[in-house]
Amino acid sequence: MTQLIGLIGYPLRHSLSPDFQQAALDYYHLDVHYEAWETSPKMLRAVVDKLRQPNVIGANVTVPYKEKILDFVDVIDASAREIGAVNTIVSREEELQAHNTDVEGFLRSLDTEAKFDPKGKCATILGAGGAARAVCFALLSQDVGSLVIINRTVERVEALVKKGRDYIARAGKTTEILLMPWHSSRLREAARSSQLIVNCTTVGMWHSLDESQSPLAADWIPQNALVYDLVYNPAETPLLREAKKAGASTLNGLPMLVYQGAASFEIWTGREAPLDIMFAAARKRTT
Ligand code: NAP
């Protein structure tokens, strides 16, 4: 019987995961189909229940469910629990086990593609959703010097900053974390003193309400910064266009997507992810 791996999110038209995950499964001649399960909020529970069927290996979880999905799984690994967000589920003997491979994907891409070491640097994160949580903990784990987190919904950024500060205290780290509302007058100042700016919002993503918008204008972006947009579709987002105008270095979300997907693939199959095949399949569908 053909086995299934699903992608749970809403909307999903922007996603490249089905392309490169299927290419990796086909590389090993596995009788497994990776399917996009576009899931409206009211369908979430029913779709998660589908993961308990015997022919389902697991799933990826994407926008907007990385935090919400915690309520529906049985076992949460230590890292996903610390972060408060999940992007990978594996179904073993009808038990749903939750993991987060976004941290690994983000750090591996930062190192391999941008040769950027966050230690001691000033960083700004735009957003406080599931992806921002992973990026926040990834940067804290690498002893980033200071972190400003900016989000439209203040309660959400407050919750993330509290979690980050708790972790800093427990782990004996020294990073300073500040939060700012989206329209803060201090936003320009924060951006201008950053060496790393990471967009973890959906602003600029194809098929989102704000697909043509950049969260920052060129004159807010310092020339010596790395601007990392987690959005990968389109390949050159409005933010990355502004960053290039400012003379900054840029990275889009495609390498992180493939690296986090490779880690998920290894959890589901126990086989080494064929990275070249995955990158080629992902790049085929971006512009
Ligand atoms: P999420 O949990 O739904 O969070 C969405 C974030 O975007 C929230 O902070 C939200 O702010 C913010 N946002 C949405 N519309 C906005 C607007 N008009 N103005 C300002 N902020 C806005 O989604 P997620 O899972 O974190 O994903 C976020 C983005 O990262 C997506 O584009 C996703 O594709 C990308 N991502 C990429 C990778 C990769 O591997 N490259 C991995 C993970 C995620 P509020 O809290 O105010 O709603």
| Domain limits, the chain | 3-100+255-286, 103-252
Report angle CA 102, 142, 85 to the nearest 5 degrees. 30
Residue 201 alpha carbon, nearest atom of ligand 1: 7
Residue 131 Cβ contacting ligand 1 at under 6 Å: yes
User: Is a pLDDT exceeding 60 seen at residue 287?
Assistant: no
Q: What is the mean pLDDT of the chain?
A: 96
User: What is the CA(68)–ligand 1 centre distance, in A?
Assistant: 14
According to CATH, the topology of domain 103-252 is: Rossmann fold (3.40.50)
Do 3-100+255-286 and 103-252 agree at the fold level?
yes
- The model's pTM is 0.96
User: What is the CA(64)–ligand 1 centre distance, in A?
Assistant: 7
- Select from 49, 30, 31, 43 the least CA-distant residue to 94: 49
Query: Tell me: the pLDDT tens digits for 215-262?
Result: 999 999 999 999 999 999 999 999 999 999 999 999 999 999 999 999
Q: Which of 50, 66, 119, 245 is catalytic?
A: 66
User: Is a pLDDT exceeding 90 seen at residue 21?
Assistant: yes
Q: Say how far apart CA 111 and CA 273 lie, in whole Å.
A: 18
User: Is a pLDDT exceeding 70 seen at residue 90?
Assistant: yes
263: number of Cβ within 10 Å:
20
Q: Closest Cα to atom 37, ligand 1: which residue? A: 230
Q: Closest Cα to atom 2, ligand 1: which residue? A: 129
Give the C-alpha distances (Å, rounded to integers) separating 217 from 67, 127, 186, 230, 267: 29, 16, 15, 17, 40
119 is catalytic: no
User: Is a pLDDT exceeding 90 seen at residue 166?
Assistant: yes
Query: Tell me: the pLDDT tens digits for 57-88?
Result: 999 999 999 999 999 999 999 999 999 999 99
Residue 133 Cβ contacting ligand 1 at under 6 Å: no
Q: Could you say which of 1.10.10.10, 3.40.50.10860, 3.30.930.10, 3.90.226.10 is the CATH number of the domain covering 3-100+255-286? A: 3.40.50.10860
66: number of Cβ within 10 Å:
26
